[in-house]
Amino acid sequence: MRDVRLVFSKLGLLRFVSHLDLNRAVLRCIRRTDIPIWYTEGFNPHPYVTFALPLPLGAESVNDVMDIRVVGDIKNREIMEKLNAVLPEGLRITDCRNPVNKIRELTSAEYLFFFSEATDLADVKTIIDGGALTTEKPGKSHGRKVMKTVNLLEEIHAVSFDDAAKTMTIRLPAGSTKNVNPISLAEELEKTNGGIECALVRRTNLYTDNGKFI
């Protein structure tokens, strides 16, 4: 029995498929192959699959990560080929390897924001440089559901702009302790300045404190 790390991309219309729905779809795709998958041993046995970091609805991703557990003899390359043969359009396994990092070591993620032709990138820069962009999100206080105000730009690991391509590359906190939703960021940017139009958000890399998540 061993864990296998699948690096995958989720592109195009698949960005409208939520994390839970993707999880279910992947389970079914695995069942369509003869990969010797390990089944959980609970009341309702199912193939064991864990995603490194849920992707918000509306975002694409490349270099995304899920782990599966296999039993018996199968090569990584074979797993990748068998899965790619059954995955729907928009979902592709791009690499299959033995995990190095643990999923809980993941602390940040890099996103690529594509802006429309009409957007003035300087407007985006001004907001990002300001370091403050708040959004409301549902949270809990003393066991009650409340709306909490959070600053999306409190912690920026890195940011760069490409004026010709009209894109912004930004690395933000991610993982179980602190997580910034890039779709909220895109929405708040658009709300703050009506001239900004974000065409697409794509998550491009995952990081631990010591470098890329591998």
Partner 1 sequence: MDKRLEKQLLKVQKPASYTGGEPGSVVKEKETVDIRFAFCFPDKYEIGMSHLGMKILYSLINARADAWCERVFAPQDDMEQLMRAGGFPLFGLESGEPIRDFDVIGFTLMYELCYTNVLNMLDLAGLPVRSKDRKNLSPLVVAGGPCVCNAEPMADFFDLCMLGDGEEVMNELLDLYKAYKAKNASKAEFLEAASHIKGIYVPSLYDVSYNEDHTIRAVTPLKSAPARVEKRNVADLDHIFFPDNFVVPYTEVVFDRATHEIFRGCIRGCRFCQAGFIYRPIREKSPEVISEQSRALCEATGYDELSLCSLSSSDYTHIKELLEQLLSWTEPQQINIALPSLRIDNFDKELLDRLSAVRKSGLTFAAEAGTQRLRDVINKNITEEDILSTSREAFSGGRTAVKMYFMLGLPTETDDDVKGIAELAQKIVNEYYRNPDKPKGKGVQVSVSASNFVPKPFTPFQWEPQDTYEEFIRKQDYLRACITTRKAALSCHTPKVSALEGVFARGDRHIGDAIEYAWRHGCTFDSWEDHFDYDKWLDAFAATGIDPAFYANRRRSYDEILPWDHLNYGIDKKFLIREAEKAKHAETTPHCRIQCAGCGANKLNGGHCDARR
The residue ranges that bind partner 1 (CB under 8 A) are: 12-14, 16-18, 21-22, 24-25, 27-32, 39, 45-46, 57-58, 86, 88-90, 183, 199
Largest CA distance in the chain: 56
Choice between 86 and 150, CB closer to partner 1: 86
* Residue 185 beta carbon to partner 1: minimum distance, rounded to whole angstroms: 14
* Residue 25 beta carbon to partner 1: minimum distance, rounded to whole angstroms: 6
* Residue 27 beta carbon to partner 1: minimum distance, rounded to whole angstroms: 7
* Residue 71 beta carbon to partner 1: minimum distance, rounded to whole angstroms: 14
**DSSP characters over 143-202:** TEEEEEEEETTS--SEEEEETTTTEEEEEEE-SSS----HHHHHHHHHHH-TT--EEEEE
Judge contact between 188 and 135, C-beta under 8 A.
yes
Q: Tokens at residue 198, please?
A: 């974000």
Choice between 24 and 157, CB closer to partner 1: 24
